[in-house]
Amino acid sequence: MPQEHKSITATRDERYDAQRIEQKWAERWQSDPSLYAAEPNSTKPKYYVLEMLPYPSGALHMGHVRNYSIGDALARYMWMNGYNVLHPMGWDSFGLPAENAAIKNNTPPKEWTLSNIAAMKVQMNRLGFAYDWSREVTTCLPEYYRWNQWFFLKLYEQGLAYRKKSKVNWCPKCCTVLANEQVVGGNCWRHEDTPVEQRELEQWFLRTTKYADELLRGLETLPGWPDKVRIMQQNWIGRSEGTLVDFDLGGTVGPAGSTITVFTTRVDTIYGATSVQLAPEHPIVSDMIARDAGLRTKVEELIAEQRRAKEAGDIGEIEKHGVFTGRYAKNPYNGEAVPVWVANYILMDYGTGAIMSVPAHDERDYEFAKKYKLEIRLVILPASSDPEETVAEPQLPFTTMDGILVNSGEFSGLSCEEAIEKMSALAEEKKFGKATVTFRLKDWGISRQRYWGTPIPMVYCEKDGVVPVAEKDLPVILPEKVTVTLAGGSPLQGVPEFLNTTCPKCGGPARRETDTMDTFVDSSWYFYRYADARNDKAPFDTKTIAYWFPIDQYIGGVEHAILHLIYSRFWTKFMRDMGLVNNDEPAQRLFTQGMVIKDGAKMSKNLGNVVSPDEMVARYGADAARLYSLFAAPPDRDLDWQDTGIEGIQRFLGRVYRFFVRNANPDHPEWRKPVPAELSSEARAIQRKLHQTIKRVSDDFQGRWHFNTCIAAIMELLNEVYGAEEAIASGRVPVSLIAEVQRGIVLLLAPMAPYLAHELWEMIGERGNLLKAPWPKYDAALAAEDEIEIPVQINGKLRSKVVVPAAATEDQVKQSALADEKVKAAIAGKQVVKNVYVPKKLLNIVVR
């Protein structure tokens, strides 16, 4: 036996040299920039596959390799299936790290960024990703960011961009404000150990809340998005239906008026309201403390407590404190005057910053009332199926909606749901309130007190106030000679030639806005620019967008589930309303790949478990690195990187290579002949496995995207032909079949290991472009088994297996089973109660 396999022993010539092969093809591919270009006027169906663009930090990490390997496999697969594929790449190249590098190394941010881009582009090309670089987008260049400014002007015209003074999140490390979405558990999203401070600043906001409802409803039109992401966005938008109710204070307190409007989702419990609770920062509280020094001290304490809790990220666990203001407010439903309190658990930025407190039917109010000995009044009793039955007093607080109103005047006896409807209607009728909808989603604060970003195209004129820059004067160029520091305000304030300008309206002296835009503005629409990347008249041409959009498949990390993906959806809706695009949503399908981890933890410099893509490519080759990142786990799950795992993949690629070296014979007269219908059983087994493999790989590409099982299937096929090597060597397998198998392997491997696939394609004498070679089709008849093995269970336990022809009937299977020695022994002396036969799957004999 060992002798027979002598020929499989590797010789020097058969060695798989990834570096040699990959260098050769990388050169060829780069010499033809049109290779991966999308066709402008194509009759083919379009397919837009997009991976999230990287921040040019200087080097790709394994998460990028994984993300882009998935996208590239899909793009290549779609090319092979005859689609006109758009597969672009770009650089999310504004942002703080460039400024930090500038401070540290005294390198201008632009220089640092562009050299990083150049380096990462080399990495991407070395990995063999098939991008249409003619559409490359670099967000930090004026050709791109001028359109950010243009969009800003459009938003401003429509009242969707506005300036307001408000409490904002401030990261002391970034020295800039952050959007709500960029605050993670009270900390900065980039500095996970840095608590965000609250500062009062005048800032530019985009009115994302205008689309709150549509952003929420739109999620239902996105079945191609992961449930997880949709649920996260749903929670983030936080729609809540409720009622606004005015409580009259009886006499004006100050500029904020004499009415406290509360928001409640449970107006049905209002007869149980025994106090009104105000957020410490409520304007009416400001009025009250203006005339009451004692109250002021206490309220300031509450504000401080609230601020501390917010900054520590545990506002949810704040110990409830409050203070009675000495005032009373009238409940418009029953005319009762209830005490007005200020409490540290009431948030100014949700609802109206004021609530009615119903201790009997709300956990928080209950806790507060217990502490301050406020009245607890039961107004809802649990619903009983039997109206005659006297209901026991429920355990307090009783918060479910499953109840009946009591002690609630004319509304007593109604169910909670009925009551909410009728009571809201009454409020509206009597003009002391109305049904309303509140959202958790806030407007997007986009001002950043940083240098390396898009200048906001506004000027401040002493005479005309806030004036937008004229469209024709765009772009407002970001100056390059700037001293970047991380102290006090935007570095642009220190650049007089930028700062000082003239008013677009009156021509008089004016000052430019020195804040720059959040970099999430850049990434909110970059994928539209790809479709028409060199347009200098408009951000893009609407007709071109209509052809390419929506994106067919977007692929990226789940960490963007809220931030980038909600802003992008907002931007699409605003552009649609402008008439710039026709689609309601940017991407039809979204795929979020799992993280790459090592030794059970996220890769990080601190842990020293970082795997470098460059090192992997140098040691194992790009194909191995790509294939392993597809093989080690299904793409939606986290991937545990194992160095021995990639070695296994490299071994597999070597086995493939050697099989081809030994058996490729394109000059053989039979190489291109059809495979004969009559085959030896050995040859037939290979043919069957080939067709089964084509089916399995195709199914996975179409459906679940479990590339790990695709690759496993190809490995099985290879193992099959290795097992038949002796039959091949001695001519019992027709050359035409070997040719078919080799063509099949190359085609199946082409999307995932393009370098080796191209090399082998050439080796087997193919001259056509593999990138667009048709994806192989399987023949169901050839994939079908002639004989199948049927497991035989006795009472549900596996006892034997019988081999029967694939077409065997139930009776035939039973007969062979009953003839089987093991089965006979197992049922000897017992009575067969019944047989369960699952065609082609299993036979279970139930005995007693």
Partner RNA sequence: GCCGGGAUGGCGGAAUUGGCAGACGCGCUGGUCUUAGGAGCCAGUGCCCAAAAGGCGUGCAGGUUCAAGUCCUGUUCCCGGCACCA
Q: Give the footprint of RNA on residues 724-753 (CB under 7 A).
A: 725
**Is residue 638 a contact point for RNA (CB under 7 A)?**
yes
Separation between Cα atoms, residue 159 and residue 164, nearest integer Å: 12
Separation between Cα atoms, residue 116 and residue 202, nearest integer Å: 34
3-state secondary structure (DSSP) of residue 463:
coil
The interface region with RNA, picked from 500-508, 610-618, 758-766, 834-842 by CB under 7 A, is 834-842
**Is residue 677 a contact point for RNA (CB under 7 A)?**
no
Closest approach of Cβ 262 to RNA, in Å? 7
Site for RNA (CB under 7 A): which residue of 392, 796, 811, 848?
796
Site for RNA (CB under 7 A): which residue of 141, 712, 773, 783?
712
**Is residue 558 a contact point for RNA (CB under 7 A)?**
yes
Task: Look at the alpha carbons of 750, 754, 756, 761 in this order and tell me if their dihedral is positive or negative.
Answer: positive
3-state secondary structure (DSSP) of residue 447:
strand
Site for RNA (CB under 7 A): which residue of 474, 517, 711, 750?
711
The interface region with RNA, picked from 68-76, 291-299, 585-593, 631-639 by CB under 7 A, is 631-639
| Tokens standing for residue 785 | 């088994």
Residues that contact RNA, how many (by CB under 7 A)? 97
Separation between Cα atoms, residue 495 and residue 650, nearest integer Å: 55
Separation between Cα atoms, residue 628 and residue 606, nearest integer Å: 25
Site for RNA (CB under 7 A): which residue of 281, 522, 700, 740?
700
* Contact residues for 571 (Cβ-Cβ < 8 A; gap 6+): 151, 524, 525, 586
Residues in 309-368 that interact with RNA by CB under 7 A: 315-320, 344-348, 350-351, 353, 355, 362-364, 367
Indicate the residue among 118 and 825 with the shorter CB distance to RNA.
825
Q: What are phi and psi of 441, to 5 degrees?
A: -60, 135
Closest approach of Cβ 154 to RNA, in Å? 30
Closest approach of Cβ 122 to RNA, in Å? 28
The interface region with RNA, picked from 102-110, 444-452, 467-475, 794-802 by CB under 7 A, is 794-802
x/- map, 507-546, RNA, by CB under 7 A: ----------------------------------------
Separation between Cα atoms, residue 49 and residue 196, nearest integer Å: 37
How many other β-carbons are positioned within 10 Å of the β-carbon of residue 13? 7
3-state secondary structure 365-392: HHHHHHHHCCCCCCCEEECCCCCCCCCC
Residues in 165-194 that interact with RNA by CB under 7 A: 184-185
Residues in 74-133 that interact with RNA by CB under 7 A: none
| Tokens standing for residue 842 | 């299993």
3-state secondary structure (DSSP) of residue 419:
helix
Indicate the residue among 117 and 802 with the shorter CB distance to RNA.
802
Separation between Cα atoms, residue 47 and residue 70, nearest integer Å: 15
Closest approach of Cβ 225 to RNA, in Å? 12
Residues in 803-822 that interact with RNA by CB under 7 A: 822
Indicate the residue among 38 and 633 with the shorter CB distance to RNA.
633
Residues in 417-476 that interact with RNA by CB under 7 A: 438, 440
Residues in 236-295 that interact with RNA by CB under 7 A: 236, 238, 240, 242, 263-266, 279
DSSP 27-42: HHHHT-TTTTPPPSS-
Indicate the residue among 114 and 303 with the shorter CB distance to RNA.
303
| Tokens standing for residue 218 | 């739109």
3-state secondary structure 757-774: HHHHHHHCCCCCCHHHCC
* DSSP conformation class of 13: G
Q: Are 515 and 448 in contact (CB under 8 A)?
A: yes
* DSSP conformation class of 568: H
Buried/exposed 663-690: b ≥16 CB within 10 Å, e otherwise: bbeeeeeebeeebeeebeeebebbbbbb
Indicate the residue among 232 and 256 with the shorter CB distance to RNA.
232
Q: Find the helix or strand (DSSP H, E) in which 746 lies.
A: helix 735-749
Closest approach of Cβ 243 to RNA, in Å? 8
The H-assigned helical ranges of 484-589 are 496-499, 519-522, 526-529, 542-548, 563-578
| Tokens standing for residue 555 | 């692929």
* DSSP conformation class of 328: E
Indicate the residue among 492 and 845 with the shorter CB distance to RNA.
845
Q: How many residues does the chain have?
A: 848
Closest approach of Cβ 346 to RNA, in Å? 4
Closest approach of Cβ 698 to RNA, in Å? 10
**Is residue 708 a contact point for RNA (CB under 7 A)?**
yes
**Is residue 632 a contact point for RNA (CB under 7 A)?**
yes
Q: Find the helix or strand (DSSP H, E) in which 751 lies.
A: none
**Is residue 10 a contact point for RNA (CB under 7 A)?**
yes
Separation between Cα atoms, residue 266 and residue 542, nearest integer Å: 47
Residues in 640-669 that interact with RNA by CB under 7 A: 640, 642, 644-645, 647-649, 651-652, 654-655, 658
Indicate the residue among 185 and 488 with the shorter CB distance to RNA.
185
**Is residue 402 a contact point for RNA (CB under 7 A)?**
no
Closest approach of Cβ 20 to RNA, in Å? 16
**Is residue 829 a contact point for RNA (CB under 7 A)?**
no
**Is residue 765 a contact point for RNA (CB under 7 A)?**
no
Indicate the residue among 315 and 773 with the shorter CB distance to RNA.
315
Closest approach of Cβ 549 to RNA, in Å? 28
Indicate the residue among 2 and 669 with the shorter CB distance to RNA.
2
Indicate the residue among 632 and 739 with the shorter CB distance to RNA.
632
The interface region with RNA, picked from 58-66, 739-747, 774-782, 786-794 by CB under 7 A, is 786-794
**Is residue 766 a contact point for RNA (CB under 7 A)?**
no
**Is residue 824 a contact point for RNA (CB under 7 A)?**
no
CA distances from 593 to 178, 465, 696 (A): 26, 48, 22
Separation between Cα atoms, residue 33 and residue 452, nearest integer Å: 31
Closest approach of Cβ 209 to RNA, in Å? 13
Q: Are 514 and 122 in contact (CB under 8 A)?
A: no
Q: Are 446 and 178 in contact (CB under 8 A)?
A: no
**Closest residue by Cα to residue 19 from 126, 111, 154, 122:** 126
x/- map, 122-161, RNA, by CB under 7 A: ----------------------------------------
Closest approach of Cβ 156 to RNA, in Å? 28
Indicate the residue among 44 and 824 with the shorter CB distance to RNA.
824
Indicate the residue among 170 and 657 with the shorter CB distance to RNA.
657
CA distances from 509 to 219, 329, 462, 496 (A): 48, 51, 8, 13
Separation between Cα atoms, residue 358 and residue 367, nearest integer Å: 11
CA distances from 237 to 221, 233, 406, 418, 727 (A): 16, 6, 34, 27, 65
Closest approach of Cβ 630 to RNA, in Å? 11
Closest approach of Cβ 42 to RNA, in Å? 31
Residues in 678-697 that interact with RNA by CB under 7 A: 696
Residues in 361-400 that interact with RNA by CB under 7 A: 362-364, 367
Separation between Cα atoms, residue 478 and residue 482, nearest integer Å: 9
Closest approach of Cβ 728 to RNA, in Å? 12
